[in-house]
Amino acid sequence: MSKVHEHPLANNPAIKNFRKYLQIKSVQPNPDYGSCVVFFTEQAKELGLPIKVYEFVKGKPIIVISWIGINPNLPSILLNGHMDVVPVVESEWKYDPFAAEIDKNGNIYARGAQDMKCVSIQYLEAIRYLKQNGVKLRRTVHISFVPDEELHSADGMALFVKSKEFKDLNVGFSLDEGGPTPNKEYVVTNGERVCWTLEIVCHGNTGHGLMLIPNTAAEKVQYLLNKFLGYREESRKKMKHPHPFYDLGNVTSVNLTNIKGGVQSNVIPSKITMEFDCRVTPNDAVTFDALVKQWCQEAGGDSVTYKYISKDPVLPITKTDDSNPFWKAFENVFKKRNDKLILSICPAASDGRFLRGIGIPVLGTSPMPGTPFLLHDHNEFLNAQTFLDGIELYKELIPAIANVE
């Protein structure tokens, strides 16, 4: 791994803060959440804001920094981010993935640079600027830093939203993470695909491998593979852009991830089991569920059975019309800036799903235009200027949504 010379922007205070957070090894499966608590406690002290740390599971803190509004009785704004990052293969990185090095182009290399430590620091830096310039907000703003999002949030947001502590925050609207885009557009997500893990078991006649007996499990598997992979191809054709945050969330993806059966190479298997990873976009859910039932019935009637090993509920999509004043305030910021905003369904899962599940509208965005998609990839980086530009955006977004009447 190389050591790079410091870029001029390395001395920017916001960049220093960002790099300091990136250097905390909050990496799964043993994230250093303790150092995150120390870091954010220091940040809260510098900002002159109260901080609370909750622990519903030992060693997995939930941190909330609050900026009390002029009218604290109004439903508050939640700016959410997760502290944990996914593991790395260090040998595949150009630089130490936890050194937050800046190259000659101003790119900051670190695990979490895109997913999503950048957004958390952008929230704080924007609030730092607003407070220093005497801005007062109508609504209270809470900034949350939660654990284990990369492990499906069972010990993080999933627990937090069920707690009295969360209820006391009186959240009326939330921002969460999005993703980078290769062009100069900004993407905002107002819903998420749901994960359905499907298991199908095909039963059929067995016998010697030299026979051509009818009604085998493999014939039923063939029929189903044709249906599922055909559906997959149709979804692929609907996509106009290969980038995940443009089109992938608006289609349902189906992938065969496991197939098993048989006892020996010369025995026709009496049972073959397949597993499919299905990421279902909300508007497809009812239709797709019906297709699964239909295809299994056509393949073999009672000799083909299926079940969902996991089936996340389909959650409400955050409205993006005049009925949602937070959306209008959000959208107007981009219009005033003459920035192109693309609305999409998030192709993956974020903590926003738990908020939508209890009726809180959520928009997901990570201001990273002109940035390659490197979430969970080797050599994840974010350009320093892009990071600073994101702070400028939040300087406008936070007052806009926090001052909604």
Q: What is the pLDDT of residues 275-304, one digit of tens each?
A: 999 999 999 999 999 999 999 999 999 999
Mean pLDDT for the chain overall: 96
Note the helical H segments in 255-304: 285-300
| CATH superfamily, with its number, for domain 8-178+350-402 | Zn peptidases (3.40.630.10)
Lowest mean pLDDT among 38-52, 124-138, 237-251, 382-396: 237-251
Q: What is the pLDDT of residues 244-282, one digit of tens each?
A: 787 899 999 999 999 999 999 999 999 999 999 999 999
- pLDDT band (50, 70, 90) for residue 240: confident
Sorted by where each begins, the domain ranges of the chain are: 8-178+350-402, 192-311
Start-to-end Cα distance in the chain: 52
Q: What's the rounded Cα separation, in Å, for the pair 83 and 95? A: 21
- pLDDT band (50, 70, 90) for residue 225: very high
Nearest to 271 by CA among 322, 218, 330: 218
For the chain, percent of residues with pLDDT exceeding 90: 94
Look at domain 192-311 and name its CATH class.
alpha beta
* Residue 149 DSSP one-character state: G
Q: Residue 103 burial by CB count (10 A; 0-12/13-18/19+): exposed, middle or buried?
A: middle
Beta strands in 185-329 (DSSP E): 186-192, 194-203, 207-208, 253-261, 267-268, 271-280, 304-311
Torsion angle of the four alpha carbons 364, 365, 366, 368, in this order, in degrees rounded to the nearest 10? 150
Q: Supply the pLDDT for residue 1.
A: 52
Residue 84 among the catalytic residues: yes
Q: Is the pLDDT of residue 56 over 90?
A: yes
361 and 352 Cβ atoms separated by less than 8 Å: no
181 and 369 Cβ atoms separated by less than 8 Å: yes
Largest CA distance in the chain: 83
Q: Supply the pLDDT for residue 246.
A: 79
List own/partner pairs for 330-337 with CB under 8 A and 24 or more apart. 330/188, 330/363, 330/397, 330/400, 330/401, 332/400, 333/393, 333/396, 333/397, 333/400, 334/186, 336/396, 337/393, 337/396
Tell me if 8-178+350-402 shares its fold with 192-311. no
Q: What is the pLDDT of residues 156-171, one digit of tens each?
A: 999 999 999 999 999 9
Report residue 302 as tokens: 């009672």
- pLDDT band (50, 70, 90) for residue 241: confident
Out of 84, 115, 125, 192, the active site residue is 84
Out of 148, 149, 150, 192, the active site residue is 149
